[in-house]
Amino acid sequence: MSVELDVFVGNTTIMDKEVYQLWLNGYTVNDAVKVRIEGGVMEECEASAEVLLSDTMDQYRTFQMCERLLHHPAKLANQLLFQIPPDRQAMLIERYYAFDDSFVREVLGKKLSKGTKKDLDDVSTKTGITLKSCRRQFDNFKRVFKVVEELKGPLVENIRQHFLLPDQLARDYAAIVFFANNRFETGKKKLHYLTFQDFAFCAGQLINNWTLGAVDNIMEDMDVDLDKEFLQELKDLKILITDKDLLDQHKSLVCTALRGKTNVFNEMEANFKNLSRGLVNIAAKLINAKDVRDFFIDLVEKFIEPFSLCLLYMGVIKSCILRMYHD
């Protein structure tokens, strides 16, 4: 004696946010039912475990049917199969493309290839995120990457338009794509203390200032690649160390800007020459792809570690450098 077939189809597709999240998290139907029972939905609604199981299976099936549409979110809005109110559609997309920070830290900067995908079970055991969820997140990265890779125009905007993501999520994806494209090394032990949001911020700065799109603001340019010309010219920064006058001028400008704003000001002032050299050396090497990958590790090893300075400082330096460059 068993239920052989059990379906429920609403004219407006019914989707429970909680079950959707469980599905996204890669729970099996049975695990999801357990979680729901623990959540107390049964008492709330006078339901039985049987009812919960039926509902969960049904919802899972609906999500599976929707999944192929979620791969092309624009299709979700003009498909006819499911009648889903726009606010729900937005929720479905946003949650489908949401990712775990702990997961993204593991794959950030890695090539989004089959090889990486094969290693996802290790990532899964390490992070405690189900393999299923890891795969979804990885596939999302890869899908977004593939679509925007060849697209012209601003990266964040492209992602937002093609995947109908909210602004913040689109920016995060831009960072992921940017990191994957430039293969920045982020997995070294020394970089472990940095969160995804730290990197995403940096990526945002780099995209805005160091890519082709940033410099020329011409639509044909692309945001994914660093501006080679710019990197080439960074070599010229060596003059900041070699030329005494410029070094002093640089120092005084930085010191004026930072005076009273950091409690390590004195140390900074004392070591300015070394600090500056570290930075300029990193900048000068960026023309090599290998060194681009090591950009962050170099910053940590050659700049932050020796002087234990905070990231705020680095930002200021950067803006100073940029300022001077433009001058």
Q: Which is nearer to other proteins, 64 or 319 (CB)?
A: 64
Q: Which is nearer to other proteins, 50 or 233 (CB)?
A: 50
223 class by beta-carbon count within 10 Å (0-12 exposed, 13-18 middle, 19+ buried): buried
Rounded to a whole number, what is the distance in angstroms from the first to the last CA of the chain? Answer: 82
Dist CA 281 CA 302 (whole Å)? 9
Q: Which is nearer to other proteins, 83 or 249 (CB)?
A: 83
Tokens read off for 34: 């357990």
Q: What is the closest distance, in whole angstroms, from the C-beta atom of residue 302 to other proteins in the complex?
A: 48
Q: What is the closest distance, in whole angstroms, from the C-beta atom of residue 207 to other proteins in the complex?
A: 29
Q: Which is nearer to other proteins, 6 or 167 (CB)?
A: 6
Q: What is the closest distance, in whole angstroms, from the C-beta atom of residue 23 to other proteins in the complex?
A: 14
Binding interface with other proteins (CB under 8 A): 1-14, 45-48, 50-52, 54-55, 57-58, 61-62, 64-65, 75, 77-83, 85-87, 89
What stretches of 164-310 show up as alpha helix (H) in DSSP? 167-182, 196-210, 212-216, 228-234, 239-242, 244-258, 265-270, 272-285, 289-293, 295-298, 305-307
Distance set, CA 73 to CA 66, 164, 224 (Å): 10, 6, 22
Tokens read off for 51: 């009812």
Q: Which is nearer to other proteins, 13 or 140 (CB)?
A: 13
Q: Which is nearer to other proteins, 82 or 210 (CB)?
A: 82
User: Do residues 164 and 192 make contact, with C-beta atoms less than 8 angstroms apart?
Assistant: no
